[in-house]
Every structure is written in C-alpha cells, then in structure tokens.
C-alpha cells in the first residue's frame, strides 16, 4: 500500500497528483492530510497507517520538516516532495527542498519541487517490489513482451498537465485510468485517454 501524507491543506494539489498517479498505475493508495508538524499529535494519531504502508509519500511546504519526522517514526521508504507553498524566506520551495535533502533521517529520497507525478510513479515502482505483477517486466532469456502505455491529458496539477504512463504491463489500462478519474470526480471533459499497444522483442546476451 502507498500512503500519501500532506502537511497542510495548501499542499493538497501536489499530494493528490501523487495519489492519482500511484492509484492509476495500479497501487492501493491511502491518504492522510493536514498532519504537519505544527500539530504533531495529528500525525501520531495516524501511526498505525504509517506502519502499515509499504512506501510513504510525504508532501510539505514551508520549512519542509514533515518528511524527517515521518522518516524517524517508520522503517519504510519515504519519498519527500517539497512544495512551492510558503512565503518570505521560503523562496518558492527552495527552503523545504534543501531541508529535505539535508534530513538526518535515513531512508528518505527527495523529488523536485511540486513533483507529485514523479513521487507517485516512484512510490508505485517501490510498492511493486515483492509483488507478482501481471505480465512481469523481469524475465530471462529471449522472448516477447507487450508494452501498454496509457496516456491521460488534461488533469491540471501544480506541475502542469498530468501524464500518466504504465509500462511493461505493470500498470494502468485505459479502463483503470478512467475508473480513477471518475472516482476522484474530475471533470469528464478533462479526460482524453488512449492506449497504445506496442510489442517489444529482445534477446538476452
């Protein structure tokens, strides 16, 4: 399970982008919002959920302290996402980016400012480890592998139009993407999806 945690309500657009991406690619996703360090008891109330997750995406702006706190509480991979939410010495996300890069908690990886899509994609990739995926992408010898790429245009996240991709049969079909789209109550007119089947052949040397 992928858990997406956001420090404050202003961080929700980036957090939702991460959640939509991981969910559309096939991961089970849960979210906990408004659990920033300004009210640490709210995060501690969610400890059972933190412990149950396989990987945690932590989204925070301002001083960017939340990923360090989460990283100190759990033994799971934490993907830290700095956001451009803040003012003054926040420098449009640079302050939390540097804070996350300098975290003393082990097991934290950092993506770029407002990169919810990248965080969600990486979380899904980590979540697949140890699980059996349909059409496994890891095979020995020679053979044929089908590649399906599902594109969705039009979901306006902070980083711009969101592009969801599923590679090597480990991710989303067109049906799955549309299910997530409707579940999130995103505008019908914004969903323009198509699936491109591609066949890949290789010979191991």
- In whole numbers, what is the pLDDT of the chain averaged over residues? 75
Q: How far is CA 146 from the centre of its chain?
A: 24
In this model, does residue 94 exceed pLDDT 80? yes
How confident is the model at residue 184, as a pLDDT? Answer: 61
How confident is the model at residue 92, as a pLDDT? Answer: 87
Pick the more confident residue, 108 or 196.
Answer: 108
Pick the more confident residue, 190 or 57.
Answer: 57
Spell out the domains of the chain, with CATH numbers in brackets.
2-128 (3.40.50.1970), 143-202 (no CATH)
Q: Which of 85-89, 119-123, 147-151, 177-181 has the highest mean pLDDT?
A: 119-123
Task: State the residue for tokens 């980036």.
Answer: 14
**111 vs 100: CA distance, rounded Å:** 9
Give just the sign of the alpha carbon dihedral 63, 15, 22, 111.
Answer: negative
In this model, does residue 133 exceed pLDDT 70? no
**153 vs 71: CA distance, rounded Å:** 34
pLDDT digits (tens, 9 = 90+) for 172-198: 555 666 666 666 655 554 444 444 444
The stretch 51-61 carries a mean pLDDT of 95
Give just the sign of the alpha carbon dihedral 164, 167, 169, 170.
Answer: negative
For residue 6, give the H/E element and its range.
Answer: strand 2-6
């Amino acid at each position: 399970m992928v858990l997406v945690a956001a420090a404050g309500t202003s961080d929700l657009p980036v957090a939702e982008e991460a959640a939509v991406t991981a969910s559309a690619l096939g991961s089970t996703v849960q979210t906990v919002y408004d659990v920033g360090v300004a009210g640490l008891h709210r995060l501690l109330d969610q400890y059972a959920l933190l412990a149950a997750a396989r990987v945690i995406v932590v989204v925070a702006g301002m001083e960017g302290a939340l990923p360090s706190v989460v990283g100190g509480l759990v033994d799971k991979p934490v993907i830290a996402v700095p956001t451009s939410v803040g003012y003054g010495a926040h420098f449009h996300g640079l302050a939390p980016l540097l804070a996350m890069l300098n975290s003393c908690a082990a097991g934290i990886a950092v993506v770029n400012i407002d990169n919810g899509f990248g965080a969600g994609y990486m979380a899904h990739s980590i979540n697949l480890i140890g699980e059996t995926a349909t059409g496994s992408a890891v095979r020995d010898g020679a053979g044929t592998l089908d590649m399906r790429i599902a594109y969705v245009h039009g979901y306006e996240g902070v980083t711009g139009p969101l592009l969801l991709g599923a590679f090597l049969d480990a991710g989303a079909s067109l049906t799955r993407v549309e299910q997530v789209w409707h579940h999130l109550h995103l505008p019908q007119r914004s969903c323009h999806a198509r699936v491109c089947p591609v066949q890949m052949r290789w010979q191991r040397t």
